[in-house]
Amino acid sequence: MPGASTQTDWLAKAREVLDIETRGLVAVRDRLDDSFVRALGIMAGCSGRVVITGLGKSGLVGRKIAATLSSTGTPSFFLHPVEGAHGDLGMIRHEDVIVAISNSGETDELNNILPSLKSLAGHVISLTGGAHSTMARLSDVVIDTSVPCEACPHGLAPTASTTATLAVGDALAVCLIEWKSFALDDFRRFHPGGALGQRLTRKVEELMRSSQLPVVPSGASLGQALEVLNAGRLGCVCVLDAGGHLLGLLTDGDVRRLVCANRLILDDVIDSVMTASPLHATCGQKAAEVLDIMESRAITVLPVVAPDQTLAGMVHMHDVLGQGRVKFSRS
């Protein structure tokens, strides 16, 4: 711990953060008014999809809100505002409802597309701490999510504000559950967790591929590695030492980058271009944890190593989800 801080000091700091975020939630709760009810009515009456949009941390919050809405009976998806400006607005229909998220309400990338969104969809609802912001003026309904202060000591990192916005999203979702009489049986239909849920609790070694793996020894040429990569059909090749320990990884993306940089030399030693000490899964990890790693890093394949760091296998996202070589058993 830096300085003379003690365990008691750090616990006090942690509690202070939670106190600040609690005060933010209370402030937003006490400020809720008919705007919330109007937004709720618009979303309940939506015959299309609720389209959530936001940038940065607001975008991350928006993705979670969209997921919660979709899983509780309100069809929803997340639209990245930059992608929207470059063609994805074509997904919007007049029966959709837009929910825009920005703490300041002055996010240029979002405000630039709001007029187009408003012309394409039925309504624009904003969740913002800037009740008099540009985004608020462009919206049909504004839910004020401003908080007294952020928990960040510099007042810069979104902390209390994102917590409050996420909570408002949960409040909308839960109220919509009751408004639409979304029942337990409906929830089960939206969460077919019998097969996938059971699969995700299994250990990764139960799902991984352990034979005919695309591997080359340390010291092999790039040309040899490309032959193995092409034959392996997993989009990557593992580099191992003489003891079978994982040293590195070469992916299709790495090869493309070498080609674009005019650095693809087949006689080069693979060790000079591989990604050393690559991201990997470990035997004993739950499939759900491995899937989280893949989704957060936007990758589809992971090497799996044993406790001694020798390569035990490789797992593809489809293996985890039951869409690839490994299929669900039929009962």
306 neighbors 283 (Cβ within 8 angstroms) = yes
Give the relative orientation of helices 252-260 and 222-232 as an angle to the nearest 10 degrees.
130
Please report where in the chains the tokens 């299709």 appear, as a residue: 252
CA dist 325 and 228 (Å) reads 19
CA dist 127 and 165 (Å) reads 7
270 neighbors 254 (Cβ within 8 angstroms) = no
Question: Would the annotation count 80 as a binding residue?
Answer: yes
Q: With 0-12 CB in 10 A as exposed, 13-18 as middle and 19+ as buried, what is 216?
A: buried
Evaluated on CA atoms 52, 57, 63, 68, the torsion sign reads: negative
DSSP 254-275: HHHHHHHTT---TTSBGGGTSE
Q: Which residues are annotated as a binding site?
A: 80
- Provide the annotated binding site for Zn(2+): 80
